């Protein structure tokens, strides 16, 4: 297996781990009766699965070998809604670094098709980090004001699968 293929397999694992982690965050929010946040995070979990499958399909289209490794157990306990979304932002920042490193490797290895495929992910990460950062900023403003928290929960619950990128 080439170095780039191996790194793409690692990225498939990272995206699936991210999907699993968002699902755990969603379950936590559901249990706290923040149903809007739970829905937003559940859709995000589906998006991460789609990211993994995009790379999976790319590997197969290139006649590469897919290797599925164990997915890390996600954290399931948080002290607050703010902590949930701070964890989401940290996760996105870490994925951005992984995508940057993967792109750099593809460049060094002259894996041109992989570079084109990864450009989509570079752009997507800008959006993903921005969404998480915006929500964290809103939560810091709202603090523990119940009415404002419920408003934010309702707003996040308006996210639809179709509007998700």
Q: Which chain residues interact with ligand FEO by CB under 6 A? A: 15, 18, 48, 51, 92, 95, 128
Q: Which is nearer to ligand FEO, 4 or 55 (CB)?
A: 55
Report the residue closest to ligand FEO, judged by CB. Answer: 51
Residues 6+ apart with CB under 8 A from 141: 148
Rounded to a whole number of angstroms, the minimum distance from the CB of residue 95 to ligand FEO is 4
Rounded to a whole number of angstroms, the minimum distance from the CB of residue 29 to ligand FEO is 17
- For 117, the token pair is 């495929």
Q: Which residues of 124-153 are buried (b: 16+ CB within 10 A; e: fewer)?
A: bbeebbebbeebbebbeebeeeeeebeebb
- Cα distances (Å, whole numbers) of residue 16 to 20, 68, 146: 6, 10, 33
Rounded to a whole number of angstroms, the minimum distance from the CB of residue 92 to ligand FEO is 5
Q: Which is nearer to ligand FEO, 33 or 120 (CB)?
A: 120
Q: Which is nearer to ligand FEO, 15 or 153 (CB)?
A: 15
- Cα distances (Å, whole numbers) of residue 83 to 26, 80, 135, 143, 152: 13, 5, 11, 11, 15
Rounded to a whole number of angstroms, the minimum distance from the CB of residue 146 to ligand FEO is 29
- In terms of Cβ atoms closer than 10 Å to its own Cβ (0-12, 13-18, 19+), residue 165 is exposed
Q: Which is nearer to ligand FEO, 129 or 151 (CB)?
A: 129
Q: Which is nearer to ligand FEO, 102 or 139 (CB)?
A: 102
């Amino acid at each position: 297996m080439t170095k780039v293929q191996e790194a793409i397999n690692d990225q498939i694992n990272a995206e699936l781990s991210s999907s699993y982690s968002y699902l755990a965050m969603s379950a936590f929010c559901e249990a706290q009766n923040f149903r809007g946040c739970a829905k937003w995070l559940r859709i995000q979990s589906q998006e991460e699965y789609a990211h993994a499958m995009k790379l999976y399909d790319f590997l197969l289209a290139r006649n590469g070998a897919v290797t599925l490794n164990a997915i890390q157990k996600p954290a399931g306990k948080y002290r607050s809604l703010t902590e949930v979304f701070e964890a989401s932002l940290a996760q996105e920042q870490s994925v951005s670094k992984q995508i940057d490193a993967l792109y750099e490797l593809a460049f060094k290895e002259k894996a041109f098709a992989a570079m084109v495929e990864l450009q989509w992910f570079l752009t997507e990460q800008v959006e993903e980090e921005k969404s998480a950062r915006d929500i964290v900023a809103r939560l810091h403003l709202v603090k523990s004001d119940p009415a404002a928290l419920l408003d934010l929960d309702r707003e996040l619950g308006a996210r639809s699968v179709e509007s998700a990128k």
